[in-house]
Amino acid sequence: MKLSTVELAKIADQAIDAAMLAGEMIARSRPREIEHKSDRGSLASQVVTEVDRRSEALILEKLKPTIEGFELGLLTEEQPDDGGRFDADYFWCIDPIDGTLPFIEGTPGYAVSIGLVCRDGTPAIGVVYDPVGETVFHAIASAGAFRDGRPWTPPSNSESLSLFTDRSFLGSGEREQITRVLEEVARDIGLSGLRIDVDAGAVMNACKVLTNPLACYLKLPKTDGGGSLWDYAATACLFKEARAVATDVYGEAFELNRGDSTLMCHRGILFATNESLASKIRHLLPTEP
């Protein structure tokens, strides 16, 4: 069953309501209980709070009519993958709080992320709510991208190239290579230099790329760990509809319904303001294996 643009718009409205409801609860809350996860990964994946679970419960309750009415599958960060995403025509892909560390520290950089993905991995709806900025980003396939309900308008003019990435980048083995590549790109296009921002989680990193004239969010391929489907499903839709770039580092579309894993960094991650910038970055990275 293929959902019409009208149906997608109605479903998106419910996702926006769900994201805002959860985000407003998050903004009122302070972490009370922190559990350390046993799985490996970035700093942000090592903690989960009571508020994560409360946020997810609010979202799922709000989205329940869409799940039942349209027979949608479900994939969330806080629940085991039941495989329903392979059978349903569409599935919700939800991160109830992305950017756990900024949230715990009481700083900007966390968000609620809700994506609707087709079985073939194509993003259909993307909704992001930033509780600190009280900002809603959303997109609907073939209907455009929006910020607080207004059509998306790309920013203009920049003196430097911005890299938005997570805090683990500072101690990672890829820091030197990525910094060198991006400094070369900045020089090539006549910018004053490279600015690195490590204050946000994956979702807000992508949104910051969209709201800056020349920016990127880059992660090199890795065989283990890294971001997951729910980290990128919503923002992939936002970028597609905003005519920005969201691909792996080889220029291929994200595999948003991987059959063998929910992890996404096996082919790297590249969000960029435009294709010209993305091409320059890819040109300086290792070729596809």
Indicate where the chain has its CATH 3.40.190.80 domain(s).
161-283
Sort strands 215-219 and 161-164 into parallel, antiparallel or unpaired: parallel
Question: Cβ distance 91 to 117 under 8 Å?
Answer: yes
pLDDT for the residue numbered 78: 85
pLDDT for the residue numbered 121: 98
Distance CA 245, CA 278 (A): 7
Would you say the pTM of this structure is higher than 0.95? no
pLDDT for the residue numbered 216: 97
pLDDT for the residue numbered 289: 61
Indicate where the chain has its CATH 3.30.540.10 domain(s).
5-151
pLDDT for the residue numbered 34: 53
Q: What CATH number is given for 161-283 in this structure?
A: 3.40.190.80
Question: Cβ distance 22 to 129 under 8 Å?
Answer: yes
pLDDT for the residue numbered 40: 43
User: Treating both helix axes as pointing N-terminal to C-terminal, what angle do 229-241 and 202-210 enclose, rounded to 10 degrees?
Assistant: 10
Among 112, 101, 108, 106, smallest CA distance to 62 is for 112
Distance CA 9, CA 231 (A): 22
Q: Which CATH architecture has domain 5-151?
A: 2-Layer Sandwich (3.30)
Average pLDDT, 10 consecutive residues per value, the chain (289 residues): 96 99 90 50 52 94 98 94 95 95 88 98 99 98 98 88 92 89 94 95 97 94 88 98 97 95 93 96 82
Alpha helices in 4-76 (DSSP H): 5-28, 50-70
